[in-house]
Amino acid sequence: MIYFLIFLAIILAVLLYAGYYVFTSVFDNQFKARENNDPNFPDSEGDLMRPTARKLTEYQAPLIERFNQLPFKELEVISFDGLKLKGYLLEGNPKEVVICVHGYKSSMYWDYCDKIQIYQKRGSTVLCVNDRAHGNSEGRYLGFSELDRFDVSKWVDKINELYDNPKIYLHGVSMGGATVIHCADMKLKNVCGIIDDCGFNSILGISKALIEGMYHIPYFPVGYLAWFWSKLINNVDFNTSVGEECVKHTDIPILFIHGKEDHYVPCYMSENMYEACASPKELHLIDGCGHAAAFMCAEKEYTEAVNRLLDGKFK
């Protein structure tokens, strides 16, 4: 009997460690993040970033130099849990402000060096934020959209302090897309539209997809143990914010954009959220497009859809 109990204890310890390893590899910022000088980043995710990863990096790399020359003004807010978060403001029309939220272990450089041209042509004011545990924003563990939605609410408050009754739009890519979708039912002051570029619906949903796609193992039990460590260490529950529920309870117009060949965040997540959305909406699914490459693959369609949203033409 004693040997059986020892065996069970060893199995439990191994499973707990496996769950902890998955949690840290996903949430801990000490694991590799995408810096603006890392041209090889997409390859590190292997097949999940196919088929446009390399092409996207080559497309964006020269745009980063131009992006870095823009006259950004550094801003700071304090998160609900005391972290200093940094954002960079490109001033334009004070009545039209776009808050840009980057993706998982990415940066504002990579995710908006191309898309910012939409807003420059419109003359919009643009705020590019560094997510918690990214860039020079504080924090060790990523919010993975759940904590980030409260950080975005702080940036919305900041914009409302700076400008008199502005129209605010939230634009998110990947994890940033999930973040802004999870803001949809928060009734944030003066938020008039949301652009969700390949965002996932929930942490539970994307963690299932990633564990099966990256580790090629069943979600049970390791996924649930990672959920346990996340709740214990980072106070993040995997199923608190669910995109389909958030968009059921909003009147904010939403633009959904997703590559049909996205192997990182499954395309069906945007389709399901679009179907559930109760507000004015559009869904654009881009042929031959992998993760976060929609602007590169369909610049005209992307730009026209964003302009329709900001011009109040969604039905």
For residue 72, the domain's CATH number is: 3.40.50.1820
Q: How far apart are CA 61 and CA 39, in angstroms?
A: 7
Question: Residue 20 has what pLDDT?
Answer: 86
Question: Residue 39 has what pLDDT?
Answer: 42
User: Is the same domain home to 10 and 112?
Assistant: no
User: Is the same domain home to 84 and 208?
Assistant: no
Tell me, what amino acid is at 142?
L
Report the DSSP pairing between strands 93-101 and 124-129.
Answer: parallel
Looking at beta carbons, which pairs linking 221-226 to residues 24 or more positions away fall under 8 Å?
A: 221/15, 221/19, 222/15, 222/18, 222/19, 222/22, 223/19, 223/22, 224/19, 225/15, 225/16, 225/18, 225/19, 225/20, 225/22, 226/19, 226/20, 226/22, 226/23, 226/26
* Residue predicted with more confidence, 35 or 118: 118
Specify if 315 maps to a domain.
no
User: Is the same domain home to 146 and 294?
Assistant: yes
Residue 6 has pLDDT above 90, yes or no: no
User: Is the same domain home to 177 and 229?
Assistant: no
Nearest to 105 by CA among 44, 64, 52: 44
pLDDT digits (tens, 9 = 90+) for 233-285: 998 999 899 999 999 999 999 999 999 999 899 999 999 999 999 999 999 99
Question: Residue 31 has what pLDDT?
Answer: 60
Q: What count of residues does the chain have?
A: 315
Residue 173 has pLDDT above 90, yes or no: yes
Q: Which of 213, 235, 257 is the last residue of a domain?
A: 235
Q: Which domain holds residue 8?
A: 1-30+203-235
Nearest to 98 by CA among 114, 80, 86, 116: 116
pLDDT digits (tens, 9 = 90+) for 191-209: 999 999 999 999 999 999 8
User: 134-163 burial by CB neighbour count: b if 16+ within 10 A, else e?
Assistant: bbebbbebbbbbbbbbbbbbbbbebbbeeb
User: Is the same domain home to 83 and 175?
Assistant: yes
Q: Which of 189, 214, 235 is the last residue of a domain?
A: 235
User: Is the same domain home to 143 and 94?
Assistant: yes
pLDDT digits (tens, 9 = 90+) for 86-117: 999 999 999 999 999 999 999 999 999 999 99
User: Is the same domain home to 260 and 146?
Assistant: yes
User: Is the same domain home to 51 and 194?
Assistant: yes
User: Is the same domain home to 119 and 212?
Assistant: no
Q: How far apart are CA 108 and CA 154, in angstroms?
A: 18
Residue 12 has pLDDT above 50, yes or no: yes
Where do we find the tokens 């959305």? 277
Specify if 104 maps to a domain.
yes
Where do we find the tokens 């939220």? 101
Q: Which of 235, 256, 291 is the last residue of a domain?
A: 235
Residue 134 has pLDDT above 80, yes or no: yes
Specify if 186 maps to a domain.
yes
**Total count of domains within the chain:** 2
User: Is the same domain home to 2 and 129?
Assistant: no
User: Is the same domain home to 107 and 188?
Assistant: yes
* pLDDT band at 14; cut points 50, 70, 90: confident
Question: Residue 7 has what pLDDT?
Answer: 61
Specify if 196 maps to a domain.
yes
User: Is the same domain home to 138 and 287?
Assistant: yes
Tell me, what amino acid is at 68?
N
Range from 3-7, 235-239, 299-303 carrying the lowest mean pLDDT: 3-7
Residue 312 has pLDDT above 70, yes or no: yes
pLDDT digits (tens, 9 = 90+) for 26-67: 888 876 554 444 444 444 445 677 788 889 989 999 999 999
The answer to whether 28 and 233 have CB atoms below 8 angstroms apart is no
Residue 228 has pLDDT above 70, yes or no: yes
Report the DSSP pairing between strands 191-197 and 254-259.
Answer: parallel
* pLDDT band at 120; cut points 50, 70, 90: very high
Range from 40-49, 140-149, 297-306 carrying the lowest mean pLDDT: 40-49
Question: Residue 41 has what pLDDT?
Answer: 45
Q: What's the mean pLDDT when you consider all of the chain?
A: 90
